[in-house]
Chain A
């Protein structure tokens, strides 16, 4: 008996108190201000310094601040729309085309159909909701992998865009006037899209941080099987996240139509990659999960870089390269830091706690 139990008790016997052997956490200021937590902020500060030195007369101005914000509000909304399903580990690859479809549909309603502004907006928002519904049916009801399923629905949207526009840009007076004013209404130089973006970010922040729903969305994303066993209605929630992403993408499409006074086929897809870049970069910030403010800061960082490169006279290719390099470096740096932490943790554990026999 004694020898039997010596072996089975071995691992536990080493740590005398069941409460003791779990290692300590690092001081909280180091965690909160560490590169892994707010690295993007440091990179942003470094960028501002570098561009201010290179273009001292044009870069460090209020105009630059306004243009970075105003020009990236739509991209910010797109990124936020992506964060919602991504938190539940659902990929919505259709948001680029959803946004493009909303963009041409509202232009078509206003210009070709002569629909008044408010009904046109409502119809387009409903369209966004229906797109989400379609994605939900594909991903949740038909259980098609979200990566492929939303790629396919996105393709359907490309067809719809072509059907509506005949591959021609839609322009007309109806897009100016009161509709055109939507995107340019401003408070202290900050335009409505920026305010909307911040509003969506605030709502998303509150949901993710302070609501049962937000917690459950993360739970699905982290461990879907565990979420099912915890009684979370995973299908219903995943469905809802796709409806949100479709609708927010439609809002972005409407704002873009208002801002550039046209509905253009092919305007949406480029936003998809940037939205992914910002969402993933943002997810490395503030605690390692998809979140609103990390995403906003990532959008601003990418916007600062591209605006700054224009101001210092960089060649057109430098902008895309900048986005790619920033994303790789940021993701690489935080995964490196995490690996270092994990290794330190394993080492600290190995000393305290012998490996179990089997």
Chain B
């Protein structure tokens, strides 16, 4: 990254002061007695893993969650009622989430007008010419030139983000307010990030405070001047970024040294990390992927051996989430790459072709892509293998029931779920059902994306064990996950993607949480 941090424009005046905010969910203290000081004109990064409490904090500020009683906050020295969305808006807290909240079918004119109001002409009609002029001026003030009438769907991602940010901060008196950017770059390819950050600098240059939530530490180092690191709902570090380094931040966030030793100890106790030592260079190759290109991927090649569990790590936007889909046959236009199974090479598979080769995919977004919410668990499990139970397309309910019971048992789910709508099951049991669906077709290669998202720890361990067992029986498994613990718990080898290419490969003793985290962030380990 070529970005150079600009001289700090931050003043000593506090734009946002928070004291003693806490949030308790039944059974979980998501946020523990949290204090935060954000200076005016600073870019303040809020860092931490999923579940560290930063989303809870943002949601409390946005008024989505009411915090536990006793929390106090001030914006520009005015008291703020935390948990009150209207008060937050009134006092000058503005949020831009990753989804931006824009209407892509409409141009900047409308998207700005909906939030800031439209320029009116006589009889209350909208003066479109004035509206377009105001919109253009607003965007130009922040260095963006775009046709205000062009639908935002046709604009570049940074331009879309610019519209969302500009309309959030417009109308503030100079140096007032706090802009909160929640994962603004998560879905952006690396080369589009610079443009967005230029805008962030413009905003903070006016004296507005910017709170930046991001997983990409290199970007944080480039743009932010201050950071707060959270773990387990509490602040573990707070200070100027000039006093730390990229690897220092990785250590603070992951608690790498501590967790690596305990994770190893813990895994010996629970026995989940029994590695499959049978895979070696002599083991036959189950799948070879060459030159995979897509929206994020910039040429990824790898080999997956029979009986191997290969993990794919990477930040959002690294191509980690795209890879399983490209191999599994769900191609976007413009995707490239060759996949060969058993020496048969295919370019740009369709889902059906992938199935014929024995490649199946457990998708990431369970609700939208995995389950059929209006089907029973039985129907969800049997969907893929139904033709094999049927005779000339006709099946008998007892045969289906027996088949589904057998597979629910195989993945350690209660066969009693069979006749319940799958939407009434817990995330863990839903995922087991999806796993049963795909294992039941007898695949050669199983691709998984985010296999444990929304899955409780009990079901998680069952899934890990089940995957290890299947691998021992000869199934080749590719598992992409944003949760490094997933990969450590079940993989023989992990490849780390960064900006669309393989940035590291780890196996055996080199496969540690720290090593993977450093590779994901592009940092160099300071302790070897």
Contacts and interface: CB of A to CB of B under 8 A. Distances in A.
Interface of A: 1, 3-4, 6-19, 21-23, 25, 206, 210-213, 215-216, 218-219, 222-223, 225-231, 233, 288-289, 345, 353-358
B429 A18 contact: yes
Given A18-B412, A18-B462, A223-B373, A212 B387 contact: yes
B503 interface: no
Contacts of B255: 1, 4
B89 interface: no
Given A219-B375, A358-B30, A18 B420 contact: no
Given A1-B259, A1-B262, A219-B372, A229 B426 contact: no
Given A225-B369, A354-B25, A213 B393 contact: yes
Which of B393, B396, B413, B419 has most A Cβ within 10 Å? B393
B27 A7 contact: no
Which of A222, A227, A229 has most B Cβ within 10 Å? A229
Interface of B: 25-30, 50-53, 55-56, 231-234, 255, 258-259, 262-263, 328, 330, 351-352, 354-355, 361, 363, 368-375, 379, 382-384, 386-387, 390, 393-397, 412-414, 417, 419-420, 424-426, 428-429, 437, 454-460, 462
A219 B422 CA distance: 13
A215 B424 contact: no
B379 A215 contact: yes
B368 A225 contact: yes
A288 B374 contact: yes
15 contacts: A6-B232, A7-B52, A9-B457, A12-B428, A12-B456, A13-B456, A14-B26, A18-B456, A223-B368, A226-B368, A229-B369, A230-B383, A233-B352, A354-B26, A356-B25
A357 B56 contact: yes
A298 B102 CA distance: 43
Given A4-B255, A231-B384, A12 B460 contact: yes
Given A1-B259, A15-B456, A223-B373, A7 B393 contact: no
B270 to A, nearest CB: 12
A342 B384 CA distance: 29
Given A222-B372, A357-B25, 13 more contacts: A1-B255, A1-B263, A3-B234, A7-B53, A22-B424, A210-B395, A223-B368, A231-B351, A288-B374, A354-B25, A357-B28, A357-B53, A357-B233
B1 to A, nearest CB: 28
Contacts of A6: 232
B265 to A, nearest CB: 9
A353 B379 CA distance: 26
Contact of A229 (B330, B413, B455, B459): B330
A22 to B, nearest CB: 5
Contacts of B383: 215-216, 219, 230
A14 B413 CA distance: 18
Nearest to B234: A3
Contacts of B363: 229
B373 A215 contact: no
Ranked 3 nearest A-B pairs via Cβ: A12-B456, A354-B26, A10-B28
Contacts of A21: 426
A12 to B, nearest CB: 3
B232 A3 contact: yes
B395 A231 contact: no
Contact of A8 (B29, B51, B354, B375): B51
B459 A355 contact: no
A6 B336 CA distance: 43
A25 B457 contact: no
A21 B430 CA distance: 13
Contacts of B458: 12, 15-18
Which of A7, A211, A219 has most B Cβ within 10 Å? A7
Contacts of A4: 231-232, 255, 259
Given A22-B424, A22-B429, A229-B361, A11 B394 contact: no
B428 A211 contact: no
A210 B30 contact: no
Contacts of A345: 424
A12 B26 contact: no
Nearest to A228: B351
Nearest to A28: B419
B28 A7 contact: yes
Contacts of B233: 7, 357
B366 to A, nearest CB: 10
B426 A353 contact: yes
Nearest to B397: A210
A94 B206 CA distance: 60
A148 B454 CA distance: 38
Contacts of B371: 223, 226
A13 B27 contact: yes
Nearest to B355: A231
A212 B28 contact: no
B369 A231 contact: no
Contacts of B354: 231
A22 B259 contact: no
Contacts of B393: 211-213
Contacts of A230: 351, 383-384, 437
